[in-house]
Amino acid sequence: MDSTILLFLLQDGLTNGAIYALLGLALVLVFAVTRVIFVPQGEFVAYGGLTFALLEAGKLPGTAYMVVAFGAAAFAMELVSRRRELAARLVAREAAFKLGLPLAILFLAKAVVAAQPGAVVNLVLTIAIVAPIGPYLYRVAFQPIADASVLVLLITAVGVHLAMTGIGLVFFGAEGLRAPPISSAVLPVGPIVVTGQNLGIYAITAALIVALYLFFGRTITGKALRATAINRIGARLVGIRLALSGRIAFTLAAVIGAVSGVLIVPMTTLYYDTGFLVGLKGFVAAIIGGLVSYPLTAAAALLVGVVEAFASFHASDWKEVIVFTLLLPVLLIRSWTDPHSDEEE
Amino acid sequence: MSALLAVEHLSVAYGRVEAVSDVSLSVAPGEIVTVIGANGAGKSTLLNAAMGLLPARGRVVFDGSDIGSVEAEDRVALGLCLVAEKRELFGAMTVEDNLILGAFRTGRSLAAETLAEVFARFPRLRERRAQLAGTLSGGERQMLAMGRALMSRPRLLMLDEPSLGLAPKVVADIFAIIRDLRATGVAILLVEQNARAALNAADRAYVMELGRIGLEGPASELASDPRIAESYLGLGG
């Protein structure tokens, strides 16, 4: 292998690794706040990527209707679970957020499709369409069992993943889609070329990580989310509603998934079920980070991306096997070095 | 005088074991009330149920309205606050962030003002404001837990074993602060195994045994009651 191939594989790996880093961070975030191992994270990638590809092709994506359906389901759940305290104000507020908002998004999407304003607006619209699915999903599937064990939440997450894959098939169909690159710029660096798409991925990943860092470090909402992750009883004692923390965490997960999808759909053809495998790579990184450490997860994600790139060059049939085998030594070392501890104070 | 908090016929069960049976008590505005009793008498369970952390039968009335269906998170907004036995701090966050989160439901402008008051009351916390809560000593942790609770501007502060595991000097400090808080008008419901210190600080007291209220009365009378002296003050035969 010469140095050009080496550099090329490295670049390829870092590009994929950046995406895995975003997904790994979302998994750590959701687990820390809600204790849900968020298997369906990859579905948001598929939804986001396919939504963006359809918008770029000038078509109205099925997710615009899907978000209305999710909102209606969440609205119904809310009314049933709070049937004893139904007041006009509560119903109006819930209707605004769970029915009005998705309908507004649907009409906005129709207007945007008619106007064809370009990639940046399509990116923003993709986020606006996919993001509310996160909190609606939390309301429907996870909030009713928020106090259940991690295992029960995991089983639910697998169920949600299967359901969302099926829903994806209904709304997008079985055909794969690809979008044109965000930028067609090409930048030669030594023997290799860096594309505008690569630079976009690095820039957006870095910007999202910085934004998350500021959100958790500087804002009261971000601090409340961290507090929920550190000590759930303590959080309740200062008046932080766990359901609110859960909704915010799921919103962030949906946004991160949607952005990841937009970033990869110009590089690879996405199908309704592609997200799962992409999400799993993020999961490998999150596990290496112990499902608690954000920096370790991001670093591990880059490693996963690079290992995957080299594996696909040397033994492409074994690429996934090699990537997932990374987990074994990590889990062994973890189980040797950290004796199992139950939830501490 | 109408009570700020009235617990009426409250029962709490863990599975089939009843930890609190048919307990009624009340706290008037500005009053310090203590519940004393041995380890396992159900005192902490009582407070957790009053806070809404545990499901219970019976009524919990706060400021005239039944709050039985109100979640613990929202009881905080009403002015009810619990300093739990385990303190429940955010160990990986700074002292200042812990305090700021205490004011999560009060709004930003009030939070800054209250933070200054809490730092004035606990100068130690001001010194350690940038330190992680998990690195504090036991006494400092208790002070932080109380400070965080005060940040919510409670009308009733419930303290669960504030002296637990602390050195005698620190216990004296904590009780001095509890007496001091009375001047601010906040009512206090204090659960303690350290009966002597609790009775010294309180206006009225309840004695809890095996999940039930055995005795009740003014704290000074109970302090001189021979039955209390024997069982809880360590003066008996």
- 3-state DSSP call for residue B68? coil
Give residue A116's region: left, alpha or beta (phi > 0; psi -120 to 50): left
| Beta-strand relationship, B187-192 and B212-218 | unpaired
DSSP-derived secondary structure letter, B41: S
pLDDT at A315 over 90: no
The boundaries of the domain holding residue A113 are 3-179+196-337
- A-chain CB neighbours of B86 within 8 Å are 233, 345
> Do B223 and B34 form a contact (C-beta atoms < 8 A)?
no
- 3-state DSSP call for residue B9? strand
User: What is d(CA A33, CA B231) in angstroms, rounded to the nearest whole number?
Assistant: 45
- 3-state DSSP call for residue B20? strand
Q: B94, exposed or middle or buried, with CB in 10 Å at 0-12, 13-18, 19+?
A: middle
A87 occurs within a structural domain: yes
Report the pLDDT value the prediction gives residue B33, as an integer from 0 to 100: 96
Token pair of A28, please?
């750590």
* First-to-final CA distance of chain A: 52
What ipTM, to 2 d.p.?
A: 0.92
A237:B72 CB<8 A:
yes
pLDDT single digits (tens) A255-287 = 999 999 999 999 889 999 999 999 999 999 999
Report the pLDDT value the prediction gives residue B1, as an integer from 0 to 100: 54
Inter-CA distances, A237 with A228, B55, B206, Å: 11, 16, 25
Report the pLDDT value the prediction gives residue B16, as an integer from 0 to 100: 86
Inter-CA distances, B204 with A63, A180, A203, B35, Å: 62, 76, 64, 9
**Bridge partners of residue A177, in order along the sequence:** A270
Report the pLDDT value the prediction gives residue B227, as an integer from 0 to 100: 80
B104:A220 CB<8 A:
yes
Report the pLDDT value the prediction gives residue B237, as an integer from 0 to 100: 37
Report the pLDDT value the prediction gives residue A343, as an integer from 0 to 100: 46
Report the pLDDT value the prediction gives residue A186, as an integer from 0 to 100: 81
pLDDT single digits (tens) A186-202 = 888 777 888 888 888 99
In 3D, which of A20, A253, A291, A258 has the Cα closest to residue A138?
A253
Q: A99, exposed or middle or buried, with CB in 10 Å at 0-12, 13-18, 19+?
A: middle
Report the pLDDT value the prediction gives residue B88, as an integer from 0 to 100: 95
pLDDT single digits (tens) A99-125 = 999 999 999 999 999 988 888 899 999
Taking residue B96's Cβ as centre, other Cβ atoms within 10 Å add up to: 17
Identify the closest residue of chain A to B76 by CA–CA distance. Answer: A239
pLDDT single digits (tens) A202-244 = 999 999 999 999 999 999 999 999 999 999 999 999 999 999 9
In 3D, which of A66, A47, A111 has the Cα closest to residue A255?
A47
Instruction: Provide the pLDDT confidence category of residue A345 given band limits of 50, 70 and 90.
Output: very low
| Beta-strand relationship, B204-209 and B212-218 | antiparallel
Instruction: Provide the pLDDT confidence category of residue B236 given band limits of 50, 70 and 90.
Output: very low
pLDDT at A344 over 70: no
B101:A224 CB<8 A:
yes
pLDDT single digits (tens) A148-167 = 999 999 999 999 999 999 99
DSSP-derived secondary structure letter, A344: -
pLDDT single digits (tens) B154-197 = 999 999 999 988 988 999 999 999 998 988 889 999 999 888 88
A191 occurs within a structural domain: no
Using CB atoms and an 8 Å cut-off, which of residues 116-155 of chain A contact chain B? none
Q: HSE-up of A262 (CA within 13 Å, CB side)?
A: 28
Across B99-117, average pLDDT: 92
**Mean pLDDT, chain A, as a whole number?**
90
User: What is d(CA B102, CA B130) in angstroms, rounded to the nearest whole number?
Assistant: 16
Say whether residue A223 is in contact with chain B using an 8 A CB cutoff: yes
* Alpha helix stretches (DSSP H) within chain B: 43-51, 72-78, 95-102, 108-121, 123-127, 138-150, 168-182, 195-201, 219-224, 226-232
Report the pLDDT value the prediction gives residue A188, as an integer from 0 to 100: 82
Instruction: Provide the pLDDT confidence category of residue A247 given band limits of 50, 70 and 90.
Output: very high
Instruction: Provide the pLDDT confidence category of residue A339 given band limits of 50, 70 and 90.
Output: low
- A-chain CB neighbours of B97 within 8 Å are 223
Report the pLDDT value the prediction gives residue B108, as an integer from 0 to 100: 82
User: What is d(CA A245, CA B95) in angstroms, rounded to the nearest whole number?
Assistant: 21
Across A283-312, average pLDDT: 90
* Alpha helix stretches (DSSP H) within chain A: 3-34, 41-56, 63-81, 88-95, 101-115, 119-130, 133-137, 150-172, 196-218, 220-230, 232-237, 242-264, 275-288, 294-314, 319-325, 327-337
Token pair of A32, please?
């820390």
The model's pTM: 0.88
User: What is d(CA B47, CA A131) in angstroms, rounded to the nearest whole number?
Assistant: 40
- B-chain CB neighbours of A231 within 8 Å are 88-91
pLDDT at B235 over 60: no
In 3D, which of A42, A29, A331 has the Cα closest to residue A162?
A42
A242 occurs within a structural domain: yes
Domain count for chain A, please give it.
Answer: 1
Identify the closest residue of chain B to A228 by CA–CA distance. Answer: B90
Across B14-21, average pLDDT: 89
Instruction: Provide the pLDDT confidence category of residue A8 given band limits of 50, 70 and 90.
Output: confident
